[in-house]
Amino acid sequence: MLPPPDWRPHAPLEPLHFDWLSRAGVEVAVLRLDRIDPLISGNKWFKLNEHIVAARQVGAEGLISLGGAHSNHLHALAAAGKRFGFATVGLLRGHPLDTPTVLDLQAFGMELHWLGYEGYRKRHQADFWTPWQARYPRLHAVPEGGGGLAGARGCRGLVAMVEAQLPALGWDDFQGWWLAAGTGTTAAGLVLAEAGQRAVHAALAVPDDHGVAPSMRNILVEAGVADSGYELIEACRGGFAKVDPELLAFIADSEQQGGLPLEPLYTGKALLALREQVTAGCFGMGTRWVFVHTGGLQGRRGFAL
């Protein structure tokens, strides 16, 4: 059974207390998407939501999608299948590997198929899904990472979620958003929802050649809105999943000083990029920003954190 349409997870909005913010006179609140559910964590649920609606409309019995051996997307999808009792199938990049994520996928009941690297590179070909749809005719296919316009539309509700909590912070408004970008889907959803009212700053957790810019542009064009209202900031620190001592030290300090758990692939890099801009004086005193904690803490298990 697919999740009920009235299941609406909630993420708290909390002020961040860091000395580098205090010195600059800048306020940041974090939207804790990592806390929406014990299993289905982060922005991945919101990116899945519209795909689940579409699956329900066509009478599908479950979902099939793609990802790597550390995929937060597949982890959230498998967890949702476990929670709500629907079938899930994962098509994985590379060859069989028992990572903590893969072991979770199996424990959640997801059926796995390893495509190798060459097979996975074919995922953008027009006929890629044909044999899989023949094999699993009752499953609805979800793009890699839950991307595309449907994934972006599922993230639009984050704006209302934050706005409803501003009075509790004593805020009347804020200047814009800051979040990590792996595909750009969540950032595109915020751009759609904001319609030019607030800026969206997306810190790239992947190199330029991973296609975040064209992906966001295509989503916005398909939605019929202007390709504007956002900024992409280089934050990958040498490549996707590349870590360095400064990043790991920053994550440890953030958890000790502010009680904020981060992981090194997305949220750690994004918050470190924000600190760099704040300390460089890019934002005036009194400005307010919302940092989106996109979850993915299950990925910490692959690092010494």
pLDDT of residue 304: 55
Give Cα separations from 229 to 54, 131, 177, 188 (angstroms).
28, 40, 11, 10
For residue 305, what pLDDT is reported? 53
Find out whether 268 and 205 touch, Cβ atoms under 8 Å: no
What angle separates helix 43-57 from helix 185-194, to the nearest 10 degrees? 80
Q: Which two tokens stand for residue 194?
A: 């904001």
pLDDT tens across the length of the chain (305 residues) = 565 555 678 899 999 999 999 999 999 999 999 999 878 878 998 999 899 889 989 999 999 999 999 898 999 999 999 988 899 999 999 999 999 999 999 999 999 999 999 999 999 899 999 999 999 999 999 999 898 999 999 999 999 999 999 999 999 999 999 999 999 999 999 999 999 999 999 999 989 888 899 999 999 999 999 999 999 999 999 887 788 999 999 999 999 988 999 999 999 999 999 999 999 999 999 999 999 999 988 877 766 55
C-alpha distance from residue 200 to each of 80, 82, 160, 195, 248 (Å): 28, 33, 15, 11, 26
- From the list 91, 46, 81, the residue with the least C-alpha distance to 61 is 81
Which parts of the chain fold into alpha helices (H)? 19-24, 43-57, 72-84, 100-107, 116-121, 130-135, 148-154, 157-163, 166-169, 185-194, 212-223, 245-258, 267-279
Catalytic residue among 71, 215, 228, 254: 71
Active site residue 41: no
Of 243, 235, 228, 185, the closest CA to residue 207 belongs to: 235
253's tokens = 């300090």
Predicted pLDDT of residue 301: 76
For residue 287, the model assigns a pLDDT of 97
Q: How far apart are CA 285 and CA 278, in angstroms?
A: 10
- Confidence (pTM): 0.92
- Domains parsed from the chain with CATH numbers: 13-37+150-302 (3.40.50.1100), 43-147 (3.40.50.1100)
